């Protein structure tokens, strides 16, 4: 069976960058923002997961460690941290409609809701900071769970920003400094746009390097 374009990209473009001596160098044109975006068709989600399992093994053989973070799990964690349950969300959708529930979840993910923690902070707190930034790589997967709730571009921008609640206000270190790859289910829209899940309005606000 012939390889799909994203499979070739994974092996021929992304993998060599990640196996380099310092994994974050080729991920972005911004030296202090070692984030990359890997584009793949949403319908190939299961194939991608298998490909990533194989990639993790090859990276381990190259002396790298990979931390795979599921955005679906972190989404659920964010909701629960705000004192809500998935069952309550489902019941709220039935009682009040999807629009109000969606707006509530958006407030939770942004940290605007009472008792909530912004999703980017949950991601940052999950990253194993004890690992060296030269060889420890973070994969953000199952990003499609955020569809119509949070744009991936906003998530990456927030991960690049420092914590607002630091005691030392002069510390402008980004929340995440490890090499990070966000696996983006969608398609291109023009020379610089991306359409999340092939449905959302094109987003042109991406600064990390695109692997597609």
What sign results for the dihedral spanned by CA atoms 168, 174, 176, 177? negative
Give the model confidence (pLDDT) of 62-100 as tens digits.
999 999 999 999 998 888 888 877 777 767 666 776 777
Cβ-in-10-Å burial (0-12, 13-18, 19+) of 65 comes to: middle
Dist CA 116 CA 53 (whole Å):
32
At 176, give phi and psi (nearest 5°). Answer: -125, 125
More confident residue, 171 or 48: 48
Report pLDDT for 66. Answer: 98
CA triple 150-151-156, angle to 5 deg? 105
Q: Which two tokens stand for residue 164?
A: 């607002």
pLDDT score of 1 more than 60: no
Dist CA 96 CA 49 (whole Å):
35
pLDDT score of 113 more than 90: no
Q: What is the DSSP pairing of strand 65-70 with strand 193-196?
A: unpaired
Cβ-in-10-Å burial (0-12, 13-18, 19+) of 110 comes to: middle
Q: Which of 56, 48, 37 is nearest to 7 (CA)?
A: 48
Q: Which two tokens stand for residue 98?
A: 């999807």
What residues pair up with 140 in beta bridges, in sequence order?
A: 69, 182
Report pLDDT for 74. Answer: 95
pLDDT score of 30 more than 90: no
- What percent of the chain lies above the pLDDT cut of 70? 92
Q: Report the number of secondary-structure helices (H) and strands (E) in the chain.
A: 8, 6
C-alpha of 67 from chain center:
12
Return all residues near 84 (Cβ < 8 A) that are at least 6 apart. 108
Report pLDDT for 167. Answer: 55
Mean predicted lDDT score pLDDT of the chain? 88
Report pLDDT for 49. Answer: 96
Give the model confidence (pLDDT) of 153-165 as tens digits.
899 999 998 877 6
Report pLDDT for 168. Answer: 57
Query: In the predicted model, what is the mean pLDDT of residues 189-195?
Result: 83
Task: Name the pLDDT band for 47 (thresholds 50, 70, 90).
Answer: very high
């Amino acid at each position: 069976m012939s390889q799909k374009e994203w499979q070739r990209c994974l092996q021929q473009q992304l993998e060599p960058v990640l196996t380099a001596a310092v994994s974050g160098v080729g991920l972005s044109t911004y030296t202090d923002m070692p984030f990359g975006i890997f584009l793949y068709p949403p319908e190939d989600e299961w194939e991608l997961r298998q490909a990533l399992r194989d990639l993790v093994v090859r990276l381990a053989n190259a002396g790298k460690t990979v931390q795979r973070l599921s955005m679906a799990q972190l989404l659920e964690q964010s909701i629960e941290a705000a004192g809500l349950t998935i069952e309550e969300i489902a019941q709220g959708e039935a009682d009040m409609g999807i629009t109000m529930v969606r707006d509530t979840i958006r407030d939770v993910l942004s940290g605007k809701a009472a008792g909530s923690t912004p999703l980017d902070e949950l991601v940052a707190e999950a990253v194993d900071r004890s690992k060296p930034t030269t060889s420890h790589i973070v994969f953000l997967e199952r990003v499609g769970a955020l569809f119509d709730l949070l744009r991936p571009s906003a998530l990456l921008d927030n991960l690049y920003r420092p914590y607002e609640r630091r005691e030392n206000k002069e510390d402008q270190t980004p929340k995440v400094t490890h090499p990070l790859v966000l696996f983006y289910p969608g398609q291109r829209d023009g020379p610089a746009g991306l359409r999340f899940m092939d449905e959302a309005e094109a987003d042109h606000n991406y600064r990390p390097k695109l692997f597609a």
